[in-house]
Amino acid sequence: MTLELSIQYLMAGITYGSIYAIVAIGFNIIYNTTGIINFAQGEFVMFGGMIAITLLNFMPLPLAIFLAVVITMFIGALIEICFIRWLKSPSVLRMIIITIGISILSREVAVHIWGESIRSLPYFVGNEITSIPILGARISPQVMWVVLVSALMVVCLGLFFKTTSVGREMRACASNRKAATLCGINTRNMVTLSFVLSAGIGALAGCIMSPITYSQYDMGTGLAIKGFTVAILGGLGSSGGAVVAGLLLGVIEAFSVSVVPLAFQDAISIAILLGILFIRPQGLFGSKEAAGLKEY
């Protein structure tokens, strides 16, 4: 394999990996405060992209993306308030089933609003055929956007959880909900906030990846599966773990093309998911002790 080809594979892997990582981070935020996996996370990504594409008809691109993120955050809050908040005994299984229902509902709503055709945002810089040469390989500038925005998002989230008091309160909910309530933290609001945050992250991801992957009403399911794999691989709840695991999975997938037919690419990620569940159920970066304390 030539150096040029290796770099091309590496870049492709980073593209997939960053996308998976952002979706996985969305999973993690909700998991941390509620202990559930929100299977509608992929739909947040879809809403973000679709709303931005619609808004683009009326306003410039940065404003459209900003508004799309805000609107999707609002949708996230609405979903939590309508479907999760009023539950008297929110057992984990029940909430998970509810999120699956929300995911199906969101897809149906989307197909009625936007129809079944694919749409996409324009490339932020250049167009469909622009590429930047890097050490003999060529990649689209949009890939740079995806990588940069993902990195920025991880840093900002890290700061938010470590330095702000709201962030600390959310982490308190994550480690022990009852204890957090006893300390005077309104855990219900924290759950709403976690939905808002992960909806916002999903929406932003949906916007920056739209030029590369296109947006379609049913794009969420596939993303959710990959994001879920990455979240498990990195250790549920760990944002740093999600980034490393996302990039790892992406790069493995990209390089696998040189050995096995492309058709088996998804089989590889599922095999990794199964392997990790057998060998290290807490994920690469999760601690066994912390995983043992979780309800799920």
Question: Which of 150, 222, 200 has the alpha carbon at shortest distance from 47?
Answer: 200
CB of 128 or CB of 295, closer to other proteins: 128
77 versus 144: smaller Cβ distance to other proteins: 144
Q: How many residues touch other proteins (CB under 8 A)? A: 46
Of 30-38, 67-75, 111-119, 240-248, which segment contacts other proteins by CB under 8 A? 111-119
Residue 26 lies near other proteins (rule: CB under 8 A): no
Q: Which is nearer to other proteins, 130 or 287 (CB)?
A: 130
Sign of the torsion angle spanned by Cα atoms 119, 225, 104, 263: positive
Our CB check for other proteins shows the closer of 77 and 212 to be 212
- Positions 33 through 72 that interact with other proteins (CB under 8 A): none
Q: Closest CB to other proteins among 52 and 95? A: 52
Interface of this chain with other proteins, residues 191 to 210, rule: CB under 8 A: 209
Choosing from 96, 214, 240, 291, the residue that interacts with other proteins (CB under 8 A) is 214
Tell the smallest beta-carbon distance from residue 86 to other proteins (Å).
31
β-pair partners for 119: 215
295 lines the binding site for other proteins (CB under 8 A)? no
Comparison of 244 and 254: residue with beta carbon closer to other proteins: 254
Scanning 15-23, 64-72, 158-166, 278-286 for contacts with other proteins by CB under 8 A, the matching segment is: 15-23
DSSP string, the chain: --HHHHHHHHHHHHHHHHHHHHHHHHHHHHHHHHS---TTHHHHHHHHHHHHHHHTTTS-HHHHHHHHHHHHHHHHHHHIIIIITT-SS--HHHHHHHHHHHHHHHHHHHHHHH-SS-B-PPPSSS-TT--EEETTEEE-HHHHHHHHHHHHHHHHHHHHHHHSHHHHHHHHHHH-HHHHHHTT--HHHHHHHHHHHHHHHHHHHHHHHHHHH-B-TTHHHHHHHHHHHHHHHH-TT-HHHHHHHHHHHHHHHHHHTTTS-GGGHHHHHHHHHHHHHHH-TT-SSS-HHHHHHS--
**In angstroms, how far is CA 273 from the centroid of its own chain?**
17
Give the nearest distance from C-beta 29 to other proteins in angstroms: 22
Work out whether 128 is an interface residue with other proteins (CB under 8 A).
yes
Q: Residues 219 to 248: which contact other proteins by CB under 8 A?
A: 219, 221-223
User: Of residues 255-284, which lie at the interface with other proteins (CB under 8 A)?
Assistant: 255, 257-258, 261-263, 265-266
Q: Which of 56, 92, 96, 120 binds other proteins (CB under 8 A)?
A: 120
Cβ-based nearer residue to other proteins, 11 or 185? 11
List Cα–Cα distances, 44 to 88, 99, 128, 239, in angstroms: 26, 12, 25, 18
Name the site residues for other proteins (rule: CB under 8 A).
2, 5, 8-9, 11-13, 15-16, 19, 111, 115-118, 120, 127-131, 133, 137-140, 209, 212-214, 216, 218-219, 221-223, 253-255, 257-258, 261-263, 265-266
